[in-house]
């Protein structure tokens, strides 16, 4: 099953469960507070997912490691390499 | 997301026009794909360090015949890398000599107009044609075909792919090798996003785009690897051959697809944090075009794998 198919399945399952409960098709008499939460649940989840995404990406950008040392080391190795290769006869 | 210079290189290397989007015209390269004649040309030189580098768990032949050593072939597709090529080769030779692993470097130049080929020939003279193999091509073709071409001539049983523009540092290769042995991984991928992996030379916008793209990729594809667009990897040779046969995208989506297909085929992927130093020479910009083609590639993978 492709990832797209997995997503569609999961959405269809959850979507139909939510719809069934909201419309009352299963014949369950849910208490009023439950129904009040259930009805806007998809919207809530979407907003929560958005916040999670922003938060995660923001955190990861903030902790993105800057390799200063690697850059410095590379520069000095470049000098060393050019000198050594020049000695071995490389014409740049 | 890879550096822009790399993305540009990936985009430049692929011929447009007759190839429909996201399909690499392997064409004759595919039909000509054969296992390289690695058996015939395996190096017979015995280096003094062979004893200490015995792969864990393989017993010696009682007759005194030494078991075949692991050999690591580094594939370097180049285009206009006259400045960087000597440096990357020097760093590779340094890294391999210090760690003692058996290696060869295969330079696949796509007819660079700036004289990369001359420099490559000089390097071959300096380091020997058993270590530096020149296998150039006439003109710019795809990255996938460059790998296929390189693998035909590779005598190693492991293939390392990396960029020739000094953004990938060869000092990580011994770590890749050690990691591979640790878990007998089919693929070891360098990651900029985990551990003490990181980048140098990226501004905030670039970092946001990179992390954002990676986040979306993780959510949609759940690939089991943290850095999908990276192209600093160690593959078992047969694994790379199998994967290239199956991959149809190009550029850095190709790198993503390799990992995704590897998971499909139940190959194991290990990760090693690497540092990615961007913009050693010249400028790089991440354009809207690249972002769009990345998203298209991502959605195609999402829908088809």
Q: Which of B123, B198, B210 sits opposite A65 (nearest CB)?
A: B198
pLDDT digits (tens, 9 = 90+) for A40-50: 999 999 999 99
Q: How far is B54 from chain A (nearest CA, A)?
A: 30
Inter-chain residue contact A90 with B211, CB threshold 8 Å = no
- Residue in A closest to B95 by C-alpha: A77
Q: pLDDT exceeding 70 applies to what percent of chain B?
A: 75
* SS3 of residue B209 by DSSP: helix
Q: Judge: A2–B208 Cβ closer than 8 Å, yes or no.
A: no
Nearest to B303 among A2, A81, A89 (CB): A2
Which residues of chain A lie closer than 8 angstroms to B90, CB-CB? 81, 84-85
CA dist B229 and B195 (Å) reads 17
Please tell me the predicted confidence (pLDDT) of residue B285: 60
* Residue pair B188/B272 in contact by the 8 Å Cβ criterion: yes
Contact at CB, A65 and B199, closer than 8 angstroms: yes
Which member of B126, B215, B277 has the closest CB to residue A90? B126
Q: Tens digits of per-residue pLDDT, A9-33?
A: 999 999 999 988 888 777 677 677 7
Q: Count of A–B CB contacts within 8 Å?
A: 87
What distance in Å separates the CA atoms of residue B103 and residue B101, rounded to the nearest whole number? 6
pTM: predicted TM-score of the whole model, two decimal places: 0.77
> Which chain A residues are within 8 Å of B279, Cβ to Cβ?
none
pLDDT at B40 over 50: no
Kindly identify which residue of chain A lies nearest to residue B261, measuring between CA atoms: A2
Q: Does A66 touch chain B (CB under 8 A)?
A: yes
pLDDT band per the 50, 70, 90 thresholds, residue B62: low
Q: Do A77 and B91 touch (CB under 8 A)?
A: yes
Chain A CB contacts of B305 below 8 Å: 2-3
CB contact under 8 A, A77 and B207: no
DSSP secondary structure code for residue B266 in this structure = T
With cut-offs at 50, 70 and 90, classify the pLDDT of residue A3. Answer: very high
Pairwise CB contact (< 8 Å): A67 & B304: no
Whether B288 has a pLDDT exceeding 70, the answer reads yes
Mean pLDDT of chain B, nearest integer: 80
> pLDDT digit string (tens) for B192-227?
999 889 999 888 888 999 999 999 999 999 998 999
| The predicted structure's pLDDT at residue B284 | 54
For residues B6 and A51, the model is more confident at A51
The packing angle between helices B237-246 and B143-152, to 10°, is 140
Q: Report whether pLDDT(B42) > 60.
A: no
Inform me whether the pLDDT recorded for B54 exceeds 60: no
Shortest Cα distance from B275 to chain A (angstroms)? 6
Report the gap between the CA of B225 and the closest CA in chain A (Å): 16
Please determine, for the modelled complex, whether the ipTM score is greater than 0.85.
Answer: yes
Given a contact cutoff of 8 angstroms between Cβ atoms, the answer to whether B199 and B244 are in contact is no
Residue of A nearest to B90 (CA): A81
**Separation between Cα atoms, residue B3 and residue B118, nearest integer Å:** 27
In this prediction, residue B52 carries a pLDDT of 45
pLDDT tens column, B242-286: 999 888 887 778 899 999 999 999 999 999 999 999 865 434 566
What are the contacts of B261-269 at 24+ separation with CB within 8 A? B261/B305, B262/B186, B262/B187, B263/B223, B263/B224, B264/B305, B267/B186, B267/B187, B267/B239, B267/B243, B268/B183, B268/B184, B268/B185, B268/B186, B268/B187, B269/B185, B269/B186, B269/B187, B269/B188, B269/B189, B269/B224, B269/B225
Percentage with pLDDT > 90 across chain B = 55
Nearest Cα residue to B102 out of B93, B111, B115: B93
The pLDDT score that the predictor gives to residue B67 is: 60
Task: Residue B275: list chain A partners with CB under 8 A.
Answer: 65, 67, 70
CATH class of segment(s) B4-51+68-304: alpha beta
pLDDT in tens, B127-167: 999 999 999 998 888 888 889 999 999 999 999 999 998 99
Inter-chain CB proximity A74 and B90 less than 8 Å:
no
* B264 to chain A, closest Cα gap in Å: 10
The pLDDT assigned to B28 comes to: 39
CB B170 within 8 A of CB B99: no
Rounded-to-integer distance, Cα B116 and Cα B72, Å = 23
More confident residue, B131 or B33: B131
The verdict on A29 touching B (C-beta cutoff 8 Å) is no
- Looking at CA atoms only, how far is residue A27 from chain B in angstroms? 36
Nearest CA in chain A to B216: A53
**Mean pLDDT value of segment A57-80:** 93
């Amino acid at each position: 099953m492709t990832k797209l198919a997995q997503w569609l399945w999961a959405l269809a399952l959850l979507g139909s469960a939510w719809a069934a409960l909201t419309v009352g098709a299963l014949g369950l008499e849910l208490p009023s507070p439950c129904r009040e939460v259930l009805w806007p649940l998809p919207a809530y989840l979407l907003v929560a997912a958005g916040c999670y995404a922003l938060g995660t990406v923001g955190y990861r950008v903030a902790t993105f490691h800057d390799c200063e040392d690697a850059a410095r080391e590379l520069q000095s190795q470049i000098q060393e390499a050019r000198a050594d290769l020049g000695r071995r006869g490389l014409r740049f | 997301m890879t550096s822009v210079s790399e993305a540009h290189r990936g985009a430049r290397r692929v011929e447009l026009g007759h190839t429909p989007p996201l399909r690499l015209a392997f064409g004759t390269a595919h039909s000509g794909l054969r296992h390289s004649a690695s058996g015939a040309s395996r190096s017979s030189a015995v280096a003094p360090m062979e004893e200490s580098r015995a792969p864990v768990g393989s017993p010696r032949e009682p007759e005194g015949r030494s078991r075949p050593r692991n050999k690591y072939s580094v594939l370097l597709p180049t285009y206009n890398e006259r400045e960087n090529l000597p440096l990357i080769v020097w760093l590779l030779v340094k890294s391999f000599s210090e760690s003692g692993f058996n290696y060869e470097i295969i330079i696949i130049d796509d007819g660079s107009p700036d004289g990369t080929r001359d420099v490559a020939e000089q390097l071959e003279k300096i380091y020997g044609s058993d270590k530096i193999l020149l296998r150039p091509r006439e003109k710019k073709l795809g990255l996938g075909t460059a790998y296929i071409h390189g693998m035909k001539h590779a005598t190693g049983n492991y293939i390392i792919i990396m960029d020739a523009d000094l953004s990938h540092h060869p000092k990580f290769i011994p770590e890749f090798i050690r990691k591979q042995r640790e878990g007998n991984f089919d693929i070891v991928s360098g990651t900029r996003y985990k551990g003490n992996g990181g980048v140098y030379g990226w501004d905030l916008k670039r970092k946001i785009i990179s992390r954002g793209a990676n986040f979306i990729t993780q959510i949609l594809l759940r690939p089991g690897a943290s850095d999908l667009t990276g192209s600093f990897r160690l593959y078992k040779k047969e694994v790379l051959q199998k994967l290239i046969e199956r991959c149809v995208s190009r550029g850095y989506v190709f790198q993503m697809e390799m990992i995704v297909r590897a998971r499909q085929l139940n190959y194991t992927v290990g990760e090693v944090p690497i540092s990615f130093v961007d913009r050693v020479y010249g400028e790089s910009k991440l354009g809207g075009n690249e972002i769009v083609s990345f998203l298209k590639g991502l959605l195609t993978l999402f829908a088809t794998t």
